[in-house]
Each structure stands twice: as C-alpha cells, then as structure tokens.
Amino acid sequence: MTLLVVGLSHRSAPVSVLERAALAPEARGKLLQDAVSAEPVTESAVLSTCNRIELYADVDKFHAGVAELSTLLARHSGAGLEELTPYLYVHYEDRAVHHLFSVACGLDSMVVGEGQILGQIKDALAVAQELHTAGRLLNDLFQQALRVGKRAHSETGIDKAGQSLVTFGLEQLAGGRDVETWARGKRALVIGAGSMSSLAATTLVRAGVGELAVANRTVERAERLVRILSEPGGPGAANGLAARAAAMTSVPAELGLADIVVSCTGATGLVLAGEMVAAAREGNTAPLALLDLAMPRDIDAAVHRIEGAHLVDIESLADASADAPMAADVDKVRGIVSDEVAAFGAAQRAAHITPTVVALRTMAADVVAGEIARLDGRLPDLDDKQRAEITQTVRRVVDKLLHAPTVRVKQLASEPGGAGYADALRELFDLDPQTVAAVSRADTRADRHDARERA
C-alpha cells in the first residue's frame, strides 16, 4: 500500500489561507486528471469542503509524491505553493488511513461528531469514480471510511457532541438562546440551493421561521427546494410556511425584508458586499443576523462593523468551536478508528500477495497440464474415464500441497511487516515477475471496470 494524503484544514491553516486555497467545483475534476497523469501517481481523489482540502493518491515514490501533490494543490487553488507549504500536512500509509477514518467519524471536524462529512466523502468518491481516477486502493479506502463513519455514529454517542455546521452557526447567532425560540416567526433568506444551503433552509423551517426566500443563480433549483419544503408532508407544511424562490438579482430587495440570512454558494467573489448590507439596513431598526458558511466567503467581513448586523462566518465558528465540549464517547470512536485502521491494513497487505498466489496456482496448473499431456503420449490406450480420474487425482494432490502454504502465507502477509512474504514466495517457486505483474494489471482493469459500473 502506498497511500499518501496532502492537505490543509481548519486545524492547520487560518481561515484566510483556506479561503484563498478553496477549489472551485470545476477545478476538482481537472486536479484529479492532472494528478493521475503525474509520474508517481496511479490513483487520486480529492476531499474539498468548507474547512478542508485534501488530495489522496496512490503513489510509487513518497518524496516525489509529496512534491507533486503539493504543487498540484497550489496550481489548481487560488494560493501559491510558498503560501500553502507552511500549512500543509502529509500522512502516509496507515497514518493516512487513520486520518481519513477520523475525518469520516467527525473527529477532525470543526464541530466534533458532525455527520455531514459522510456525504462529502461519498461525493468525493463518486467524482473520482466518474472520472476513473479511483482504482482498488482508493475505492476500498473511501468505501471503508464511509462504513467506519456510520459505525461510529450507530455504536457510540458521538451524535450527542456532533451537530451540523448549520446548527452550530445558528446557535452562535442565537447567542445562547434556544434556536427554535429565537427563529420562530422570523423572515429568513437563504442564498444558494446546494447541500449546505438546503440543510440550512430545512433547519430554519423546522425551527419555525414564518417566511423563507431561497435565492439561487439557477432559479429552477431554488424553486425545487421551495417545493420540497412546502409540499404536504414536508417540514414547512405543518406551520403554513410562506416560501418563495428568488433570482440572485432580487437579493438586495430580499435582504431588506429578512431577519436571518444564510449564504453558502460556490461563488468565487463576494455575494453580499458591505455596501449592499448597509443599504438594506437604512431606516431598518430590526437586528439582522447573517451566517456565512461559504469558502471562500460570500459575505463581506466589513459587515461586522455595520450597526444592527450580526455576522457569523467560518472564522468565528472556528474560534467558537475551540471551546465546544467533547462527548465522552469520543474515546470510543477513537478506539473504533484504531481497530478499523488495523483491519484495513491487514486486508490490503493480504490483497498485495494475492497476485503472487494466483501466479503460483497458475504455474501449478500448467505443470499438471504438461504432465497429463506427457502421460497421454506414453499411455495412448487410456480411455476417457481413466484419463479423467488420473487428471483429477493429480490436481487434488497439487491442491492439497499448495493449500496450507498459500493460506498461511496470506495470514503472515496480513501482519505488519508481512510484505516480504510475496517476494519469498516468488523466489522459492521461481515465479516469473512478469506473470505476477500481469495478474496485478488484470486486477486493476477489473477494479476500474467495477468503478465505472458503480458510477
């Protein structure tokens, strides 16, 4: 296993650097394709959220891999390599597995235990599968990470500590008051219609806001979200929610009507400039609460200085989360992660020897076939029944002789330091390295075909 991850997150970098390094959605696919085109990389996947950017890869050289992945992150983000380098972290092999599993369980999130990261990991895998940049290693890794995250949430009380970034942000806006009491009857504006914005809209509706406007660059997506929230059985049906979709050009007017604003778009520039918010505040004495969940930011930081406006953004959430209490079950989750990392490593090491075992059995089958052919030449009078019985007997002998060694070598190979057993097996049986490599290539082609089928 040659797994490598290079990245930066809210734990390693200030929000200002994360903001400049944020990847636009269209840049992620190009990053993956450039990564697998690089000499030391055979597979790649990128996990990009509002508070982390991580590039995962299967590499054949550690130092060359680190240099290549770091350069690619800088090239495709908005920050230069010199600016990123002090904040980048690197994890290799088991440490990289441990990192992703911890991320999947919410242990590395800004709000410990939050479950939204699982959806983001699933999306990262789906993109890598769609672009065919994920092979056996990354498919296995990300799928196992999803299972580990689900296990942590089902077997422990991590959810007691965990909450979505939306909920945490609204709690900060509410200033310690109950969110439902604070939001009930207010007029809300949600800018964006992606997953985070949809979660924000749903949370606000369930909290009892009286009116909701959803603004999005593509109005049809905003309309679809409004329909989902308002339809019979939806979260807004019970309280008679007044919801509407709006174009982005209507945001200044909607801003003047709102008590609560939540913005999370994929825009590369500001969506709400300070002047726009100040204009909406003219003649309005009611307080305006704004939550910016975008990276890079949607709302001008100058809004902090506007009287009557209270802005909570990713930077202030990072500061607030540093003091958030951790659940007692976090230790249980850490134990789950450690166990799952060991199991994943063992499975990968065992899989590494499989092509050698397959090549050994192929060689044995060829030897049997050759000896049966020689027997046919020496004993041409054997009838079909006799020939079949002799062939089956020889095969059984060979299978019995190979069974115990191959089972044992797989067990030994799964243990730490077991990588050398494949080399020993090749040496003892004089296996052709090209035959073993051909089995590995066939496995890789099958893995990529499976990935395309899943995508």
Active-site residue list? 50
Per DSSP, the three-state class of 260 is strand
- Tokens 């040659």 locate to 2
- What amino acid is encoded at 346 in this protein? A
Distances (CA, A) of 112 to 158, 257, 339: 8, 34, 20
End-to-end CA distance of the chain: 24
Angle at 266 between CA 260 and CA 270, to 5 degrees: 65
- Tokens 């499976």 locate to 450
Q: Which of 280-285's residues contact partners 24+ apart within 8 Å by CB, and which partners?
A: 280/252, 280/255, 280/256, 281/306, 281/307, 281/308, 281/309, 284/256, 284/308
29: tokens are 């696919």
- What amino acid is encoded at 106 in this protein? G
Give the gyration radius of the chain's Cα atoms.
28
Residue 187 burial (CB count, 10 A): 17
Residue 397 burial (CB count, 10 A): 11
Dist CA 128 CA 452 (whole Å)? 10
- Tokens 């296995």 locate to 140
Residue 396 burial (CB count, 10 A): 10
Cis bond upstream, residue 296 (ω within 30): yes
Residue 177 burial (CB count, 10 A): 11
- What amino acid is encoded at 31 in this protein? L
Whether the Cβ atoms of residue 55 and residue 35 lie closer than 8 Å to each other: yes
